[in-house]
Homo-oligomer: A and B are copies of this chain.
């Protein structure tokens, strides 16, 4: 048995927990925080609650929201200048994966210097980061608890996957109420991202008993609550359980890493700036079918979890795949990469980037560039 490690931030979970953000920053010794967020969060009104919470505890802040989905290296550079100019000493990310990943990237540069590209890969960060608090407002990325930050290298249109224990925030706040303002489509695609995190980390060659319990519960909760969460903005039970699914999937993949779906979707997202959740949801059943022979037992468990029937047992990979497809169909998620504008001509450049992605290392079945091309074409 090899030695394995598990690390996670302190977690604060529940409706209204967003109001604890000011106090959480103070507890870490912050005097002036940079709030990194995106225009959507500002518009939805959640930033107001955050700012109010800072006022209540007398915490100074400055807001940086000049970022986009699939966040870019130059946005990180801008954010860093903002952090330095405003003389901040801690960073608060508020949003989905984009805002949180940029918050982490600014933190890296704030104490380690250099360019964000210098930190691509595993364990390249040497100096401790400033205190980090993250507020997750989408049940999706899991970045609020993870060792990951994904930033686009805008010169090469390639996503930089940065993995380091230093990127695990100090405190993660997950408030299911913030999910009320998400559109049905965003709920659907980010929900499939959660499912992908759960399934890929469960099948990862770096999975451990500590990650499995979270991955299994995440898969179960998505199967049980994603449909209802897409159906209604006001279904509090569904929002709460999807927030928990996202959190647990995040804990699982942060420590077990991911697989070929993410390896491919990082490549596709980098080249074509497509929404991460959409791409993952489309690729997932195809990659599952490919990976099936690596772990029939785990696929049998996935069937039980996805069907919600404790007594249902099937080690057919096809059954697991069908259950995923049915879910994606029910919630109206895109089914084919061609719907996103991709064509057969893109297969080669995608596979060349994808094979280099850090997530490929933990895919349970050995994979080649040819396999990736074939999977890409299947998913068109």
Contact = CB atoms under 8 A, between A and B. Distances in A.
Contacts of A236: 1
A115 interface: no
Contact of A311 (B8, B20, B311): B311
A216 B210 CA distance: 12
Most buried by B among A3, A13, A15, A208: A3
A278 to B, nearest CB: 28
The count of identical subunits is 2
A66 B240 CA distance: 49
A300 to B, nearest CB: 11
Nearest to A17: B3
Contacts of A10: 5-7, 165
Contacts of A311: 310-311
Nearest to A128: B29
A213 interface: yes
Given A209-B217, A213-B217, A310-B310, A5 B12 contact: yes
Most buried by B among A4, A11, A247: A11
Interface string A155-198: 00000000001000000000010000000000000000000000
Interface residues of A, number: 33
Contacts of A176: 1
A43 B16 CA distance: 52
Interface in A229-249: 236, 240, 244, 247-248
A14 interface: yes
Contacts of A14: 1-4
Contacts of A210: 11, 13, 244, 247-248
B15 A5 contact: no
A216 B216 CA distance: 12
A214 interface: yes
Contacts of A8: 8
A177 to B, nearest CB: 10
Interface in A102-141: none
Contacts of A6: 10-11, 13
B20 A13 contact: no
